[in-house]
Amino acid sequence: MRKRPKGWRSPIPEADALRTILRLVARQTSREIVRALARQPSDIKTLANSLNSPVSTVRANVNRLVKGNLIEASQTKPKSVYRLSESVKVNDGPKMLEMTIKTPKGSSISFNILHKPG
């Protein structure tokens, strides 16, 4: 695939937002965070414990997901609790993760990701 010049924007308005979403869910830790938040809202430390991942890794992925509008933070004292955005619908089956994401302009993307056996 040819590399795009810096600052390049697609002629299709929603393509950049959808590309960002696909890059986010391409990360295994991000997918695991989405799956965990589909079950119940949680804070970063609880997510890190449930995923057996370092807090720094989970925090970095949570920040990316917040920036990509896939999850939202609700400020509570003394820590933030994260939940899926209203635009994200998740069906976490035994063999695959099914996601549907609506963009602000009304487009949507649906995809399935197979779970790793193990």
The model carries a pTM of 0.78
**Residue 13: per-residue pLDDT:** 63
The answer, yes or no, to whether residue 10 has pLDDT greater than 70, is: no
Complete DSSP assignment for 69-103 = TSEEEEE-SSSEEEEE-TTEEEEE-SSEEEEEEE-
Tokens of residue 32, six digits: 């695991």
Q: Residue 53: helix, strand or coil by DSSP? A: coil
Quick one: CA dihedral 8, 103, 44, 115, positive or negative? negative
Query: If pLDDT is split at 50, 70 and 90, which confidence band does 58 have?
Result: very high
The span from the CA of 74 to the CA of 57, in Å, is 20
The answer, yes or no, to whether residue 38 has pLDDT greater than 70, is: yes
Of 22-26, 54-58, 103-107, where does the model show the most confidence?
54-58
Contact criterion met (CB below 8 Å) for 34 and 26? no
The answer, yes or no, to whether residue 19 has pLDDT greater than 90, is: no
The span from the CA of 81 to the CA of 74, in Å, is 5
Taking residue 14's Cβ as centre, other Cβ atoms within 10 Å add up to 16
Q: Residue 3: helix, strand or coil by DSSP? A: coil
Query: If pLDDT is split at 50, 70 and 90, which confidence band does 11 have?
Result: low
Mean pLDDT (whole number) for 16-27: 80
> Domain 15-85, what fold?
Arc Repressor Mutant, subunit A (1.10.10)
Residue ranges covered by each domain of the chain: 15-85
Sole residue written with tokens 């370092």? 54
